[in-house]
């Protein structure tokens, strides 16, 4: 659904918890959020032609990170307008203030883009921007006896020393040739993984200082009662520093799930 940003700013009246969303099809319906958008926001609302457009307001406590939050999509699910926000990571080498305060943004959408009865409350989804990565290598390593998948992050060639010996010679060479000026390397060893195949990366996200690597695999075919694990799979990923943000994560958490 196409939209246009009408304005944005900071507000002491915005919520301190999860982001809130509102939809106004008429000028009186803006009163519920007008106090939160301040004088500048109300001035923008005064210019809206409600015979042609509707207004979507998003209030949140994004504080100093607000410049990294942007609207990814606007859609309608039944009678509810859904606003999807993406939060970009902080670019490597940059710092920002840690203050938390209310912020607002106003969007306009053509009334003709909406259908049926529309609720005055919108649903707001906040997601992390995707992390860009490439698969450098995959293979099988000798088990260590551990029953828990383990992951490592290397910001330079020397960072691979704790785990590089578990790779094949060709995969070690591939990992060492990554451009560490612009990328980092994550290595995931699926120790303890039940016998399975077709291991692949399902998702790559981060929370604070932890890089979360989600992997999926196929279960053994029906009729295979037991198996003996003689090797464990591994994956080596090259990750774009710009999409990972900074400072770099300090730990890697691996989440392995069987595909249905």
- What mean pLDDT comes out for the span 69-94? 87
**Same domain assignment for residues 221 and 198:** yes
User: What distance in Å separates the CA atoms of residue 89 and residue 139, rounded to the nearest whole number?
Assistant: 31
**Same domain assignment for residues 61 and 157:** no
Q: Helical H runs in the chain? A: 31-34, 38-46, 169-176, 241-244
**Same domain assignment for residues 220 and 245:** yes
**Same domain assignment for residues 30 and 105:** yes
> Has this prediction a pTM greater than 0.75?
no
How many domains is the chain built from? 2
Q: Nearest 5 degrees, angle CA 53-CA 56-CA 59?
A: 155
Name, in order, each residue with C-beta under 8 angstroms of 236's C-beta and a sequence gap of 6 or more: 135, 136, 137, 138, 167, 171, 174, 175, 185, 186, 187, 188
Neighbours of 19 (CB within 10 A): 21
**Same domain assignment for residues 217 and 143:** yes
Last residue of a domain, one of 75, 94, 128: 128
**Same domain assignment for residues 118 and 190:** no
User: What distance in Å separates the CA atoms of residue 138 and residue 164, rounded to the nearest whole number?
Assistant: 13
What range does the domain containing 62 cover? 4-128
pLDDT per position as a tens digit, 85-110? 988 777 666 778 888 899 999 999 99
pLDDT at 223: 65
pLDDT at 115: 94
**Same domain assignment for residues 112 and 196:** no
CA distances from 193 to 67, 128, 146, 228 (A): 41, 28, 10, 12
**Same domain assignment for residues 138 and 248:** yes
pLDDT per position as a tens digit, 132-164? 899 999 999 998 888 899 999 999 989 998 899
- What mean pLDDT comes out for the span 121-129? 89
User: What distance in Å separates the CA atoms of residue 8 and residue 11, rounded to the nearest whole number?
Assistant: 10
**Same domain assignment for residues 69 and 143:** no
Q: What percent of the chain has pLDDT over 70?
A: 94
State in Å, rounded, how far the first CA of the chain is from the last one: 32
pLDDT per position as a tens digit, 190-237? 998 877 778 999 888 887 788 989 999 887 777 665 666 788 999 999
Last residue of a domain, one of 128, 146, 162: 128
- Residue 45: pLDDT over 80: yes
**Same domain assignment for residues 138 and 246:** yes
Last residue of a domain, one of 112, 128, 144: 128
| Residue found by looking up tokens 């699910």 in the block | 77
**Same domain assignment for residues 160 and 80:** no
pLDDT at 259: 78
DSSP state of 219: P
pLDDT at 92: 64
């Amino acid at each position: 659904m196409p939209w246009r940003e009408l304005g944005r700013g900071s507000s002491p009246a915005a919520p301190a918890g999860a982001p809130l969303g509102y939809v106004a099809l008429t000028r009186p319906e803006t009163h519920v959020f007008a106090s939160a958008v301040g004088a500048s926001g109300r001035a923008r609302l005064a210019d809206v032609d409600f015979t042609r457009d509707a207004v979507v307001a998003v209030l949140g406590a994004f504080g100093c990170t607000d410049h990294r939050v942007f609207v990814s999509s606007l859609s309608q699910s039944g009678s509810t307008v859904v606003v999807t926000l993406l939060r970009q990571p902080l670019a490597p080498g940059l710092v920002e203030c840690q203050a938390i305060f209310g912020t607002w943004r106003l969007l306009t959408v053509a009334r003709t883009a909406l259908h049926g009865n529309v609720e005055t409350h919108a649903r707001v989804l906040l997601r992390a921007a995707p992390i860009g990565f490439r698969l450098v290598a995959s293979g099988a390593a000798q088990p260590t006896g551990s029953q828990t998948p383990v992951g490592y992050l290397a910001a330079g060639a020397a960072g691979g020393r704790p785990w590089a010996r578990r790779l094949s010679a060709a995969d070690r060479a591939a990992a060492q040739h990554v451009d560490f000026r612009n990328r980092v390397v994550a290595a995931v060893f699926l120790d303890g993984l039940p016998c399975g195949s077709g291991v692949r990366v399902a998702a790559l996200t981060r929370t604070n200082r932890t890089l979360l690597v989600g992997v999926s695999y196929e279960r053994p075919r029906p009729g295979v009662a037991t198996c003996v694990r003689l090797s464990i799979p591994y994956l080596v990923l090259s990750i774009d520093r710009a999409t990972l943000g900074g400072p770099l994560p300090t730990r890697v958490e691996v989440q392995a799930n069987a595909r249905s």
